């Protein structure tokens, strides 16, 4: 019998998206594209499409805990990500499970959908901040989430840098602050950040989707050309899932973040149409 290839395992703990563009569905497509066996623990069901979220029903805390336990019993993941947790009870379940686990944990602190629907109950935010983030290897907030986590207004790359440092100081985890929702047009000088950067820039003015990574020692500025006219659903889920996948493949955190940026950039750039909407192309990674 031929020797079978052994695949690494990654786990996503997130909500189900009936439209297939975000959540569990986006995460599993990303894992599959990276050659990883994807496992899942569903936190809630959503009735949604690329335009809006119509209804959310949370999974019971007991069922969520059982899903996570079942995965770890027979398919221990090399890396885990959390996405939409929705309820305070489910945040507490995840916190309780990982409190004594040594695991590379990526937390995507999903608070509000692109369409404006609240995806994390107010009572859950405090638990996420006080108990879950200190357990994380990496937190991946967008601009609005980073403003909440840092208590700072963010309107520039320098403000992103300051907020990333503040979030790291408060919670002790590495930070990837995503600036894609507010592309910056400014002169990005080669010496504006430490030398350890994923991308290097000249002094020309370019419209870029800029992210900042900071882990207490290394600061990275990650950038890609902003794709005009494309409004996609599930980019944040895909980005954090790609980072989780690269961690499961054995890359260190800074490298996994850089590769994750490239993955989501390709997925956006090579997106395809679904009726009047655009969908990320999870099979487009180089």
The one catalytic residue among 21, 178, 245, 258: 178
98: domain CATH number is 3.40.1190.20
Q: Is residue 271 part of a domain?
A: yes
What's the pLDDT score for residue 90?
A: 95
- 249: domain range? 9-180+226-279
Burial status of residue 2 (CB atoms within 10 A of its CB: 0-12, 13-18, 19 or more): exposed
Asked if 245 is an active-site residue, the reply is no
The one catalytic residue among 21, 23, 179, 234: 234
The one catalytic residue among 23, 180, 236, 245: 236
DSSP state of 269: H
Q: Is residue 217 part of a domain?
A: no
Q: Could you state, in chain order, the average pLDDT of each consecutive group of 10 residues for the chain (286 residues)? A: 85 94 95 97 93 90 98 97 94 96 93 64 89 97 92 92 97 94 48 44 55 96 80 87 98 97 87 79 74
Asked if 178 is an active-site residue, the reply is yes
Q: Is residue 187 part of a domain?
A: no
Q: Which residues contact 195 (CB under 8 A, 6 or more apart)?
A: none
Asked if 21 is an active-site residue, the reply is no
Asked if 5 is an active-site residue, the reply is no
What's the pLDDT score for residue 88?
A: 92
**Closest to 199 (Cα-Cα) out of 241, 157, 159, 152:** 157
Using DSSP, how many helices (H) and how many strands (E) does the chain show? 8, 12
Q: Is residue 92 part of a domain?
A: yes
Q: Is residue 4 part of a domain?
A: no
Asked if 244 is an active-site residue, the reply is no
The one catalytic residue among 44, 59, 173, 237: 237
Domain count, the chain: 1
Q: Is residue 26 part of a domain?
A: yes
Q: Is residue 214 part of a domain?
A: no
The one catalytic residue among 232, 238, 244, 265: 232
The reply to whether the predicted model has a pTM over 0.85 is: yes
Asked if 116 is an active-site residue, the reply is no
What's the pLDDT score for residue 282?
A: 84
Q: Is residue 1 part of a domain?
A: no
């Amino acid at each position: 019998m031929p020797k079978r290839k052994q695949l690494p395992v990654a786990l996503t703990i997130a909500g189900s998206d009936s439209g297939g563009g975000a959540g569990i569905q986006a995460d599993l497509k990303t894992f599959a594209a990276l050659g990883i066996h994807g496992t899942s623990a569903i936190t809630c069901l959503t009735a949604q499409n690329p335009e809006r979220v119509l209804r959310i029903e949370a999974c019971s805390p007991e069922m969520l805990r059982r899903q996570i336990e079942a995965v770890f019993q027979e398919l221990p993941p090399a890396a885990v990500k959390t996405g939409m947790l929705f309820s305070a009870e489910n945040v507490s379940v995840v916190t309780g499970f990982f409190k004594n686990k040594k695991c590379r944990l990526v937390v995507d602190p999903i608070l509000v959908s692109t369409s404006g629907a609240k995806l994390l109950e107010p009572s859950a935010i405090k638990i996420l901040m006080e108990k879950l983030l200190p357990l994380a290897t990496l937190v991946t907030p967008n601009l609005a989430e980073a403003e909440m986590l840092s208590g700072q207004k963010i309107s520039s790359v320098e403000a992103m840098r300051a907020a990333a440092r503040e979030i790291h100081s408060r919670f002790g985890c590495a930070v990837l602050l995503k600036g894609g929702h507010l592309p910056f047009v400014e002169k990005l000088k080669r010496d504006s950040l430490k030398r350890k950067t994923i991308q290097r820039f000249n002094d020309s003015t370019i419209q870029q989707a800029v992210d900042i990574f900071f882990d207490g020692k290394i600061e990275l500025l990650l950038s890609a050309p902003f794709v005009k006219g494309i409004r996609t659903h599930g980019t944040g889920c895909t980005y954090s899932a790609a980072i989780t996948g690269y961690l499961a493949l054995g890359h260190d955190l800074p490298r996994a973040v850089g590769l994750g940026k490239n993955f989501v950039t390709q997925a956006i750039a090579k997106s395809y149409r679904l009726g009047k909407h655009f969908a990320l192309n999870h099979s487009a990674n180089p």
